[in-house]
Amino acid sequence: MSHGGVAEEAAWKVFQTLASQSQPHEAIQNLRVMGIPEDRLEALLTRHDLEAKQIVQLREPLGLSREGRVPWYTGPRPGDVNWSPLEKQLARKIGEEAAAKIDRASSKVVAMLDHPATPAFSSKGLVVGHVQSGKTSNFTAVICKAADRGYRMFIVLSGIHNALRTQTQLRLVNDIVSANPTVWHQLTSPEQDFVPPPYAASLLAGNDQALLLVVKKNAVVLRKLRRWLRSASEHLANVPTLIIDDEADQATVATRTINPLIADIMESLPKACYVGYTATPFANLLIDPADTKDFYPRDFILSLERTAAYQGPETLFGRDPMDGEDPEDVPGGLDLVRDVPTEELPDLRPKNRAEAATFVPEVTGSLRRAVLWFWLATAARRVRDGEVRHSSMLVHAHSDTQVHDSFAVPLRELRADTLRALRAGGSDVRSELLALWEEESRRVTADDLGETPIAFAELEAHLTSVVTDTTVILDHYRSQDRLNYDNGPQTVIAVGGNTLSRGLTLEGLVVSFFVRSADVYDTLLQMGRWFGYRPGYSDLPRIWMPAEVREWFMHLATVEAEMRKEIDRYLIEHKSPLDMAVRIRSHPKMKVTAPSKMTNAVRAAAAYGGQLVESRYFPVKPREDAERWLAGNADAVRSFLEELGTEAPEGATESGKLLWRGVPSSTVLSLIREYRFHPKSVEADPALIEQYIQGRVRAGGLRRWNVAVMAKPAADADKAIVLPDGRTVGMVRRSRLDNTKDLDHADIKTLSGSRDEAVDLQIPTGWDGKGRSAFSRLRLDQAPETGLVMLYPIDPVSEPTAQHRVELNAPAEVVWGVALVFPQPSVGVDLTVEYDFVAADLSKVFPGAIADPDIDIAVLSEDLDAVELGS
């Protein structure tokens, strides 16, 4: 570099330092006073604008910008000491495309940090990842990039278990330190947690090395770290520090010892950024924002993207549609989940903790099928891979370690019996394995998921060696024989609980047998070790669990999708976490997080404007109860139609659809009071709907409704029904999702068709509007302040016409479905009602702050791709 270049770089560094403390124009003025020539000042401003524009283009993952902050990080530069070797390593291991995604995502996180040259800072942010989906890769990249820009000390708080801390340290050593051993000084090692070094001054005073500490969230260890930092306080002024809190919702939130200790460590550092990483941020989002010492993410929240190959909650379990979504576009879940019958549960887990010590499990039918499938799938992987790789099965029945130990004998006996039969050429076991392989291969075809089909004869040759290789490991804090994937390929059935529920990866996980009883969002999601990427065997994973737990995971998939949409919404509005709180949908049978972590949560407000609320769930058993329920709904609809009168409605029996216009809100309210929505339809709360409608009416709107019977022509239907006015119309078919066939209620996924809510509107010629938000805008133009009721007479049998569907089989003569379309308000602002959401209480920070301002989320989500950060 020329002398002129050196001077230019020096001026640029001075400008960056000044701009980190003020606005760019103030930095320029200061440089002008220092005698820097005008042409060089122009060049500095041009360079600043170009780099700021690069920041604007860092759009993925979505997240919050830090309002009023001067952008400083524009991404990696050629020759970066730490990031360049990691980038090359990632490209070799996971491919250039995946490495590029980690690059983009980590750059976005670093851009949210404070400039390391700022004289003093203390900021807190949150990165929301996905369970088993690359959080460690992201924060490893963030550490590299922050080190390349001047951060000096990196404290990684790595869970509460030694196994996870050791795993994290080893990974950071392999990914960062080994590439630049002279650049890094480790104050912890894979074998040893933090022990205070005696030479604090020499470590902290120099600028030639970055310091790495991987510390367990343990009170004894954290006290040592606090004491050491306090003893070195005079040397910390020029040590910008990044604290990475892995599994940030565990131990950090609402604990009497760990939480204050981490806060004290943060306060000991003059220049510190705290970034929490978690896939289950519910507790973090409900921290008291007014407590500046606590870890509410006051400065930013980011949501990491995931690729289409990730098998997450909605991929495996499906989810409910969110506001503005066409239900047909919502994933219904892969057919990879199998039921553990309720009658088997007493043989698989103790009724209560008192019975744990004497509990003896049985190899029930579902557990046997799960283990046999594990061996089949492992053999199939060996055929595809051409080699032996890690293959794991998880058995999670209880939190008590005595229950874990009780599974050792029956599982090892099953292995021994199967191995004897295979070696002896037993036809019974072979027939059982063949039937299981054919059944599962038919339900989930390899071709559909882009995998290579395998015939039973191909994998049969590997079965004996697979069963021979299998070991049963009891992984808990008392056991001596723990999971270890460092000594060559492992084929393992791991029985455990809490030690397998946080951070620790079960390599090559194929089968999960989960009968643990847990009713807390974050606890349940973290137990889902089956989430993640399954390259080359995406068709083979299976999960066995009780039907109710499956239902809970489906709810959690909806909660997670809504939460991430809330975070995305901040980007559009340029808000911070102190302006709006993320809402989290609640559940009648589950807790969002531990009660001790919800002491500062408040019920959030929501509005129905622009929403579609419809029947999706219908009771089917116990048969007598379901029959009374559905008959009561039929009576409610009949009374409602009688109240509409005998005046001929619009529409024709040829189309099957009938339409009444101008029905008073009072008449619609009579239907809402009498009709019973299923409790799973949490948004269809009759009391809240009535409260909302009455409020809109008082404000001068929503006084009239249109009512449509969404039937088929009688001649085209399998069954017909006579309406109160004597007209005969055909019933529609709504079959149920087959993965809910063992539940007490039927889930039809969606009641209304994608264009049904336009039944009372005129569709303009050439109109190409798509999605619910487009129909909402059309309604606002043609029928402002007019709601729509759609009534669907459903065939109680409803034979399926699509894959992954079964008969509705409801005990009724007709099943009436009801859909309500609420128009966007054209009079005043939309009203809010207390809805089934919780959020952090911002009123203590800014009196009058609200958890959920009025906003058309559907419209915003459609326009999201057109919005640039900072535009």
Which residues, including other chains, have CB under 8 Å from residue 102's CB and lie 6 or more apart? 90, 134, 137, 138, 141
Q: Does residue 856 surpass a pLDDT of 60?
A: no
- Cα–Cα distance for residue pair 32/38, rounded to 1 Å: 8
Helix axes 456-469, 365-385, angle to 10 degrees: 110
Contact criterion met (CB below 8 Å) for 401 and 477: yes
Backbone torsions φ then ψ of 553, nearest 5 degrees: -65, -35
Q: Quick check: is 75 in a domain?
A: no
Q: Final residue of a domain: which of 527, 545, 563?
A: 545
Residue 307 has pLDDT above 80, yes or no: no
Whether residue 386 sits in one domain with residue 288: no
- pLDDT of residue 326 exceeding 70, the answer is no
Q: Around 793, how many Cα atoms within 13 Å sit in the side-chain half-sphere?
A: 27
Q: Tell me the pairing of strands 805-806 and 736-737.
A: antiparallel
CB 8 within 8 A of CB 40: yes
**Same domain? 143 vs 229:** yes
User: Is residue 871 assigned to a domain?
Assistant: no
CA–CA distance, 473 with 418 (Å, rounded to integer): 18
569 domain residue, yes or no: no
Q: Which domain holds residue 659?
A: 612-821
Q: What angle do CA 598, 604, 609 make, to 5 degrees?
A: 160
Share of the chain above pLDDT 90, in %: 50
Instruction: Specify whether the backbone of 554 is left (phi greater than 0), alpha (psi in -120 to 50) or beta.
Output: alpha
What was the pLDDT predicted at 48? 66
Asked if residue 374 and residue 301 are part of one domain, the reply reads: no
Query: Does one domain contain both 755 and 809?
Result: yes
SS (H, E, C) 421-477: HHHCCCHHHHHHHHHHHHHHHHHCCCHHHCCCCCCHHHHHHHHHHHHHHEEEEEECC
* Together in a domain, 282 and 413: no
User: Could you read off the pLDDT of 519-534 as tens digits, one per residue?
Assistant: 788 878 878 878 888 8
350 and 294 in one domain? no
Residue 665 to residue 822: CA distance in whole angstroms: 12
List residues bridging with 392 in a β-sheet: 492, 509
DSSP sequence for 327-395: GGGS----S-EEE--GGGGGGTS-SSGGGGGG------HHHHHHHHHHHHHHHHHHHHHSS---EEEEE
Q: Alpha-carbon distance 442 to 448, whole Å?
A: 11
711 and 769 inside one domain: yes
Mean pLDDT is lowest, of 117-121, 126-130, 484-488, 773-777, for: 773-777
Nearby residues of 199 by Cβ (< 8 Å), 6 or more positions away: none
Evaluate if residue 714 carries a pLDDT over 60: yes
Q: How many residues belong to the chain?
A: 871
- With vertex at residue 563, the alpha carbon angle to CA 560 and CA 565, rounded to the nearest 5 degrees, is 110
User: Does 10 or 62 have the greater pLDDT score?
Assistant: 10
Comparing CA positions, the residue from 709, 696, 708 lying closest to residue 785 is: 696
Contact 123, 113 (CB under 8 A): yes
Are β-strands 271-278 and 241-246 bridged in parallel, bridged antiparallel, or unpaired? parallel
The one-letter code for the residue type at 632 is: G
Output DSSP code: residue 844: G
Q: Taking the model in full, what pTM does it have?
A: 0.69
Tell me, what amino acid is at 218? N
Instruction: Report pLDDT digits (tens) over 806-829.
Output: 999 999 999 999 999 999 887 665
Phi and psi based region of residue 500 (left: phi greater than 0; alpha: psi -120 to 50; beta: remaining)? alpha
* Residue 630 in this model has a pLDDT that exceeds 70: yes
Residue 223 lies in a domain: yes
Burial (CB count <10 Å: 0-12, 13-18, 19+), residue 465: middle
Q: Which residue spans within 150-268 are E strands per DSSP?
A: 153-158, 184-186, 210-215, 241-246
Would residue 586 count as lying in a domain?
A: no
Residue 254 belongs to domain with CATH number = 3.40.50.300
- Flag whether 66 is in a domain: no
pLDDT computed for residue 870 by the predictor:
25
Domain boundary among 545, 565, 588: 545
pLDDT tens-digit readout, 746-769: 989 889 988 898 899 988 887 776
Asked if 271 and 386 sit in the same domain, the reply is no
CA triple 56-276-866, angle to 5 deg: 25
Q: Which of 405-419, 597-611, 651-665, 855-869 has the lowest mean pLDDT?
A: 855-869
Output the DSSP codes for 84-117.
Answer: HHHHHHHHHHH-HHHHHHHHHHHHHHHHHSPPTT
pLDDT band of 19, cuts 50, 70, 90: low
Per-residue CA distances from 437 to 348, 460, 590 (Å): 24, 10, 36
User: Which spans in 76-198 are helix H?
Assistant: 83-94, 96-112, 135-148, 162-175
Residue 95 located in a structural domain: no
- Tens of pLDDT, residue by residue over 356-382, are 889 999 999 999 999 999 999 999 999
Predicted confidence at residue 8, as pLDDT, reads: 62
Q: Do 461 and 523 share a structural domain?
A: yes
Which two three-digit tokens encode residue 28?
């320029």
- DSSP code, position 311: B
pLDDT at 647 (0 to 100): 67
Determine the residue type at 618. Answer: F
| Summary mean pLDDT of the chain | 85
The crossing angle, in degrees rounded to 10, of helices 24-33 and 38-56 is 160
Answer whether residue 816 is part of any domain.
yes
| pLDDT tens digits along 66-85 | 555 666 888 898 889 999 99
Please indicate, yes or no, whether residues 7 and 104 belong to a single structural domain of this protein: no
Q: Are residue 654 and residue 781 in the same domain, yes or no?
A: yes
Alpha helices for 234-364 (secondary structure H): 258-267, 282-285, 313-317
Q: Which token pair is 832?
A: 């809010």
Q: What is the DSSP letter of 613?
A: E
Mean of pLDDT values over 698-726: 90
- Per the structure, the count of domains in the chain is 4
Predicted local confidence at residue 382, as pLDDT: 97
Residue 191 is which amino acid? E
**For residue range 631-644, what is the model confidence (pLDDT) as tens digits?**
999 999 999 999 98
Shared domain check, 182 and 130 = yes
Contact present, 466 and 491 (Cβ < 8 Å): yes
| Gap between the Cα atoms of 791 and 639, Å rounded | 13
